[in-house]
Amino acid sequence: MALEKYREKRNFSKTPEPKGSVPVTKAPAKGRTPRFFCVQKHLASHLHYDLRLEHNGVLLSWAVPKGPSLDSTVKRLAMHVEDHPVEYGTFEGVIPEGYGAGIVMLWDVGTWRPEIDDVDAALKKGDLKFQLDGYKLKGSWALVQTRGSRDPSGRSWLLIKHRDDWSGPVDVTAEFSKSVKNDGADFEDILAADAPDVWTANRPAKGGATGAMLAEIIQKAAALKAGKKPKRRSR
Ligand code: MN
């Protein structure tokens, strides 16, 4: 994991730790020990939610286009993506260019706990059952890998809420849409807070695909700020 490269790109003096204590385990947790999890709401080329579970010193990561649902009958597509450094888990701010260019909001944070003893075996099997204890997401969940010819890459998983005291009809992404890090900040607040430093230090290309993407994001942020519904790409 290229942590040096990750650090070069970011000004950590501008990303203070969230209020309250965020438990991050120092050594890889074994068995069913609680460890760090987060969900980062990521406005990039499209809006999605990155679910990250700490395991063996990295954050296992799934990009969930529609975000988590508390409805136990709903299965949300979760694309398995590359591991992220643990330090990334409390990041909220602007990624000016390249990988994941856009705005990242720390949407939920807390601890997760496997419901099985062997996480690696569960991942290999494509069926990970776990508990979440965040601000927004709690109770029992599953990540289940989809199989078959439709997805030879094996990257497609489904995120499913198990029926329990924490499941229900609440539309959690709509009802609780803001940051848990900075007192209910929305994308435009994050953009406004981070833009001067990040963009001066690491200015993106003005043209090309990156420039076009950033222009779109800025437009979305401006629209959000104006209280209008941002223009979304149909999926
Ligand atoms: Mn992402």
Span 143-193, pLDDT tens digits: 999 977 667 778 999 999 999 999 999 999 999 999 999 878 887 778 877
Residue 6, class by beta-carbon neighbours within 10 Å (0-12 exposed, 13-18 middle, 19+ buried)? middle
91 CA from centroid of ligand 1 (Å): 12
Cα of 93 from ligand 1 centre, angstroms: 12
Ligand 1 mean position to 13 CA, how many Å? 22
CA–CA dist 108, 211 (Å, integer): 29
Ligand 1 centroid vs 150 CA: distance in angstroms?
Answer: 23
- Distance (angstroms) between ligand 1 centre and the Cα of 50 equals 5
Q: What is the pLDDT of residues 57-103, one digit of tens each?
A: 999 999 999 999 999 999 999 999 999 999 999 999 888 766 677 78
Q: Residue 95 and residue 198: Cα distance in Å, rounded?
A: 8
pLDDT tens figures, 28-55: 677 899 999 999 999 887 789 999 999 9
Q: Please count the other Cβ atoms lying within 10 Å of the Cβ belonging to residue 203.
A: 10
| pTM attached to this predicted model | 0.75
Stated as kind and residue range, the H or E segment containing 145 is strand 138-145
130 alpha carbon to ligand 1 midpoint, in Å?
22
Could you tell me the two tokens for 90?
């409390």
What is the 74 CA–ligand 1 centroid distance (Å)?
A: 21
The two most distant CA atoms of the chain are separated, in Å, by 50
From 223, 1, 192, 8, select the one nearest 97 (Cα to Cα).
8
In the beta sheet, which residues pair with residue 219? none
pLDDT tens digits for range 208-225: 655 665 676 677 666 666
For the chain, the straight-line distance linking the first and the last C-alpha, in angstroms and rounded, comes to 31
